[in-house]
Chains A and B, each alone.
Chain A
Amino acid sequence: MKQQRTMARRGFLKGTVGAASLVALAGCDNLTQSAWFPGMLQKAQGLTEAAQRAITPANALAKEYNETDISKVFPANGNTDPGAQEYADMAQGNFAGWNVSIGGRVKTPMMYSLAAIKEMPARTQITRHDCVEGWSAIGMWTGVPLGDLLRAAEPLPTAKYAVFHCADVDDEGIAYYESMAVADCYHPQTIVAYELNGRPLDVPHGAPLRLRFERQLGYKQAKYIQRIELVESLEGIGMGRGGYWEDQGYEWYAGI
């Protein structure tokens, strides 16, 4: 009898706990899909950015590794081929006709050919790529400091963000773009890279030019860069959140 009661009580307890957790989980799912709650959660992003910028010296370098640390396989994520015919033709010709323009809020709009970029003083760095999914890979990148490209274009004081317009378009026809604070463009390790591990970038890794923004996560590292636009506000570009992944709910400030 007593045992029966204990069993019944145990069953009741189990049922209650199970039901309560299902209700709680459904509640969380409802909150996630509500109009106001994600907005509140995203407030943490501003706090994180302010805190990280306050405690991180502007020129503090991301750790640089040795050649022996380089990953044997550097996974390529996101779009791994822009797919467009125009791009494929460029790839056929080793990107000989590839240009990058710098415009928007600058005094002197610039146009760099791939060859011109490769002739500028280069920086090589062995750094760790941290994907938002959780994995890391180490690679040796060579490219031109983004700051050198920007200085020649003379950004106006109103330029707050650099927007990278890229050649890749996803399956649904949405063009990839990314953005970063102009202040971060001048970090010594922020480069427009054209080589990975001593070889010209291949298509999956962003040929012929991609961004390396070493103090932030992988989705900020725009590939297939065609145009750099300096803007005062991110409104009106894509869905206005500053990038392809940001428009899908990922943080614009990807320092963590």
Chain B
Amino acid sequence: MPNLMQSPMPMAEAVSTPETIKVSHATTERVYRHRLLVRICHWLNVPCLVILIMSGLQIFNAHPALYWGDRSDRDHPLLSIRPMRTDGGELKGVTTVLGRQFDTTGVLGYSNDSARAFPAWATIPSAKWLAAGRQWHLFFAWVFVVNGVLFAAYGLYSRHFKNDLVPTRHDLTQIPQAVKDHLVLRHPKGDEARGYNVLQKLAYAGILFVVAPVIVLTGLTMSPTIDAAFPWLLTIFGGRQAARTIHFIACFSFVGFILIHVSQVMLTGFLNNIGSMITGWSTVRHEGVKP
């Protein structure tokens, strides 16, 4: 997307200037959208995030409750996911959020005849196995961080962040229209499809500049050694257990982002989108003007 280079192949029918000829045919244009390093970082993130989320849920299952502050007061969790026995004697899954209880049998707390917070299909490994979950998590956390640092350095150096991701003042005025367009699934075409729209920029910028740094820093705040080296981490996140809670919220922000991102990729021309993230080249369609 940066350096919107023209395709080396000349287009069959160029778009004419409106003053001379009002009528033009629909044309397609090949646009270089994603540079190599961006593509590599993007695809490295796919397995990393899936593994980090699923192994993270395995780790969460070892103590399926969240708290604020530094310590775990087990009588007052913000959230807990537990199996409970009903009066009839059978087990059900109960999720408690801020004191409110929900029956989540089958998914959370009790699923497939097993008392566990997140179900087997959502965790790595699928069986209850904290040590293995930690090994997966702490290995891919390194891959994710190294990948992220590389991407951040490149994003700054190449001005990818400044040119393509940070919304301009003009972008921000387009938010109401962009929201309307998204709600009716009206997607940008022609020149508008060359760059990211404002909601896209906000989503990417939010994930890159807020959620990703927060998830890494709260992960580090859970490390007792890092807390000794950088005690201010405990201060800014409100304590170790608060950091664990924020880590969990950031995780589900990623889950939400991934669901929306993938559905948008499918809705706006799946093959063109996937192809452009693999080769870098995207096809932009110009509608043309009918006589």
Contacts and interface: CB of A to CB of B under 8 A. Distances in A.
Max chain A C-beta neighbours (<10 A), residue from B71, B125, B224, B244: B224
A168 to B, nearest CB: 20
A62 interface: yes
Nearest to A216: B224
A244 B134 CA distance: 17
Interface of A: 21-22, 24-25, 28-29, 32, 38, 40-45, 47-48, 52, 55-57, 60-63, 65, 69, 71-73, 75, 128, 130-138, 214-217, 245, 248-251, 255-256
B59 A216 contact: no
Contacts of A61: 228
B7 interface: no
Contacts of A245: 131
Max chain A C-beta neighbours (<10 A), residue from B62, B65, B71, B240: B71
Contacts of A256: 138, 220, 222-226
A217 B134 CA distance: 13
Contacts of B65: 135
A63 B125 contact: no
A69 B240 CA distance: 13
A214 B226 CA distance: 12
- Give the 10 A-B residue pairs with the shortest CB-CB distance, closest first: A255-B225, A249-B131, A256-B223, A134-B63, A135-B72, A56-B229, A133-B62, A44-B139, A133-B63, A41-B135
17 contacts: A24-B50, A28-B125, A38-B135, A41-B136, A42-B135, A48-B142, A52-B223, A62-B224, A132-B62, A132-B130, A135-B72, A135-B74, A137-B72, A138-B70, A215-B228, A245-B131, A250-B131
Contacts of B127: 29
Nearest to A135: B72
Interface of B: 50-51, 54, 59-60, 62-63, 65, 70-74, 121, 124-127, 129-132, 134-136, 138-139, 141-142, 220, 222-229, 231, 234, 240-241, 244
Max chain B C-beta neighbours (<10 A), residue from A41, A48, A214, A248: A41
Contacts of A52: 223, 225-226, 229
A57 B229 contact: yes
B72 A44 contact: no
Given A22-B121, A25-B126, A38-B132, A215 B225 contact: yes
B231 A44 contact: no
Interface SS of chain B: helix, strand, loop or mixed? helix
Contacts of B51: 28
Contact of B71 (A38, A62, A138): A138
Contact of A43 (B73, B139, B220): B139
Contact of A25 (B60, B74, B121, B132): B121
Nearest to B125: A32
Max chain A C-beta neighbours (<10 A), residue from B70, B126, B129: B70
Max chain A C-beta neighbours (<10 A), residue from B65, B74, B223, B225: B225
B125 A29 contact: yes
A134 B138 contact: no
Contact of B121 (A21, A57, A62, A251): A21
A60 B126 CA distance: 38
B224 A255 contact: yes
A63 B232 CA distance: 10
A60 B229 contact: yes
B126 A128 contact: no
A28 B54 CA distance: 11
B280 to A, nearest CB: 26
Given A41-B136, A44-B142, A256-B138, A136 B225 contact: no
Nearest to B146: A47
A248 B229 contact: no
Nearest to A245: B131
A128 B224 contact: yes
B142 A63 contact: no
Nearest to A213: B224
